[in-house]
Structure 1
Amino acid sequence: MPRHEFQPGKLIAGLFLTAAGALYLGDALGSWELPWFTVIPVVTAGLFLAGAAGTATYAIRRRQRPHVSDSRAR
């Protein structure tokens, strides 16, 4: 199986969306009472943090990547 590169932005987004699902599941099962708008800040914060992590990861990998010069000699 080929290895893939670690993408922390997707991990963060997945964790926050899973947390939002768990909040709704707890509300549906009657464990707690949740206002309908409670999940909006959770999802918004998760997407914001995922975007920040993705941007930081891109910047770090771009800086660490060796500079590729034109391989054709003229």
Structure 2
Amino acid sequence: MLRHEFQPGRLVAGIFLTATAVAYAGDAGGLWKTPWFAAIPLVIGGLSLAAATALLTRTHRTRPPKTNPAPQNHEPQPPQRGAGNCATNHNAAAHSREQKPPP
């Protein structure tokens, strides 16, 4: 059971910041050499991708506003003749014939 909603933008930011930390931890441990400026593209690129992901997620989750709200105190109009599909019109015509008394 989820305790909060999933936020993919934060996931992307966390992955890139963790990658930056791993790069400098490897350099500190002597496993490889990481230049001092490597954090700049990793952090800025990761935060930019996180922002784009968060924006995309937000636009996907929000619903568009209603463009034509129903007017208040409006009486419903009776159905128009011929409205609906062919089967509905046919059944209505057959039903009206059944209820007429024979001449």
The alignment's TM-score, normalised by the length of structure 1, stands at: 0.80
- Sequence identity percentage: 54
Cα RMSD of the aligned pairs, angstroms, is 2.1
Q: Distance in 2 between matches of 1:2 and 1:31?
A: 38
Match of 1:31 in 2: 31
Match of 1:70 in 2: none
Aligned-pair distance for 1:2? Answer: 5.9
Question: Could you say which structure has the greater relative contact order, defined with CA pairs below 8 angstroms and 6 or more residues apart?
Answer: 1
Match of 1:5 in 2: 5
Q: Distance in 2 between matches of 1:4 and 1:40?
A: 31
Computing the radius of gyration from Cα coordinates, the structure with the larger value is 2
**3-state DSSP class of the match of 2:44?**
helix
Structure 2 unaligned blocks of 5 or more:
67-71, 73-103
The structure with the greater share of residues assigned to helix is 1
